[in-house]
A and B are shown apart, each in its own frame.
Chain A
């Protein structure tokens, strides 16, 4: 690998059909052995970035170096160094768990006897031994995910790419999956690059994260650093609808850093929520505006996301919904293939 970096991107860009810029000149590094989270809403450019890093998609411009290899020049060699767990389930339902891993091993040119022994070992590691000879279509969602993790590890990769790996799993399945990933990291020093919708997972699992929005990285750092950047607590005040704007009044109160007004809610970033709430209630009362709800939050990654994008994690307020954007991107990809 190039120095201590597992992944290096320089102005990586992907434009679909010459019109839609899915990823725009992003540059970042993933250190060897770390877990790196890539966060963003649907259509933000997460999966496109991951596809470029895993040699599935050709960048329009810029460079990606994975495991010390330029992805554009050596896509097949890069594939040998990485494991990929795709967003959708890719387990072959008509094959048993063991056969799924053996076939995947064969795709890496691993001899049959070695493939069989690796498959047995991985099946045990993923606690699927009892179900190893059952067809994968009989597995639960969590078991399928663990099987796919085993498949992704069959070539003993240096870097594991996970594309929203726990999407659709119940909390128990999610916890179980991350337990296996953490154990692997501890035992093998594996580098993990993960895209996820679940900010709590990124918070608990990742050493560093990057937030991508509209194809550009808007923030990056450790979860702690990013939360510290918020500089304090976040208080949300809800008022009756139709009341006058209190933004200026709230901004003038002691310990307040910033105020965001949306509909009848005020999101106030302040030094201490406990001190601010009684003062704010009093100020609103004096202004003749009734408070209908108050919440105080210590900074979380959700707050970090909101701070850097100005939007809730699953919103897209610029005309096109995140789903519309994803559908449009898929259509464009389909047209390009044809």
Chain B
């Protein structure tokens, strides 16, 4: 099983390394979002401070309300971008399976005794690695922008210890695994690229738009806030924001959100294993 997994994983990374255009565009998208989208919003939390109804007595209370403790929209948004890239970077993982089916490569692999776990696992490893690396790219770039005025950047205001780093990494890994599992399963079950992209779009937009990855929390209507707290993208982003900003604006600690994310991942993986094993069983 491990030799088959290693061999097929090597194939995935070789293919990725030989596609510099895909690597370039995968870096370009978050770069443009960080540069243009993040800097395009100029929320001034100071305007929420004051004695009038709807205003807050001090800046921290306004920040807690608007950005759940983040010192600026940009810092809030940079964490949201990690969730955003976990979805967008895994979108094509299932499409690659469909193209491999069309080119006969999938058929050839299925003609060997390689177990379905190795066939799926190799693709999962490769697909999840991309958003994990991109998440570190996003955070690194956002931190660097803080030193490049007049750009806004990510300001970490909490003392992030080893546990915090582990919690952040675990959140990023779980979210990446979850979406890679979801889209790969689509790719294995669907044979037609057009159908795949239609299915993926019905998932990715609602998931992103019902999360608090990009919207300032305080400006979201309460019904959207309610939905958002169960959204896996929000769960991942909550962990990062709590770790980086040490906010008291969250009702639970990072561990609870990590557990929620783990629950999502386990449920989706359980479903995926059943469906994939059925689809890839030795005799059709």
Name A's B-contacting residues (CB within 8 A). Answer: 54-58, 71-72, 75-77, 79-80, 84, 86, 88-90, 92-95, 99, 102-112, 115, 135, 151, 155, 333-334, 336-338
Question: A106 with B4: in contact, given A57-B284, A58-B283, A94-B14 (CB under 8 Å)?
Answer: yes
Q: Which residues from A are CB-within-8-Å of B104?
A: 86, 88-90
Query: Which residue of B is nearest A89, CB measured?
Result: B104
Q: Which residues from B are CB-within-8-Å of A95?
A: 11, 14-15
Partner of A110, one of B3, B15, B107: B3
B105 at the interface (CB under 8 A from A): yes
User: CB distance B7 to A94 under 8 Å?
Assistant: no
User: CB distance A107 to B109 under 8 Å?
Assistant: yes
Q: Which residues from A are CB-within-8-Å of B11?
A: 92, 95, 99, 103
Looking at the assembled complex, report how far the CB atom of B212 sits from the nearest CB atom of chain A, in whole angstroms: 36
Question: A79 with B111: in contact, given A56-B284, A58-B283, A103-B8 (CB under 8 Å)?
Answer: yes
User: CB distance A54 to B111 under 8 Å?
Assistant: yes
Looking at the assembled complex, report how far the CB atom of A62 sits from the nearest CB atom of chain B, in whole angstroms: 14
Q: Which residues from A are CB-within-8-Å of B19?
A: 94
Question: A86 with B108: in contact, given A109-B3, A111-B3 (CB under 8 Å)?
Answer: yes
B6 at the interface (CB under 8 A from A): yes
Tell me the total A-B contact number using a CB cutoff of 8 A.
Answer: 98
Q: Which residues from A are CB-within-8-Å of B3?
A: 106, 109-112
Q: 15 additional contacts, CB 8 Å, given A106-B6, A106-B114, A107-B118?
A: A58-B283, A58-B284, A71-B283, A76-B113, A77-B113, A79-B113, A86-B108, A90-B107, A92-B11, A94-B19, A106-B4, A107-B113, A109-B113, A110-B3, A112-B7
Q: Which residues from A are CB-within-8-Å of B283?
A: 55-58, 71-72, 75
Question: A56 with B110: in contact, given A95-B14, A95-B15, A334-B191 (CB under 8 Å)?
Answer: yes
Partner of A86, one of B14, B107, B113, B118: B107
Partner of A108, one of B105, B110, B112: B112
Instruction: Give the CA-CA distance A89 to B105 in the complex, in Å.
Output: 8
Q: Which residues from A are CB-within-8-Å of B189?
A: 338
B window 108-128: CB within 8 A of A: 108-114, 118
Partner of B8, one of A54, A77, A107, A112: A107
Q: Which residues from B are CB-within-8-Å of A105?
A: 7
Q: Which residues from A are CB-within-8-Å of B114?
A: 106-108
Instruction: Give the CA-CA distance A108 to B118 in the complex, in Å.
Output: 11
Instruction: Give the CA-CA distance A233 to B112 in the complex, in Å.
Output: 46
Partner of B282, one of A76, A103, A338: A76
Looking at the assembled complex, report how far the CB atom of B277 sits from the nearest CB atom of chain A, in whole angstroms: 14
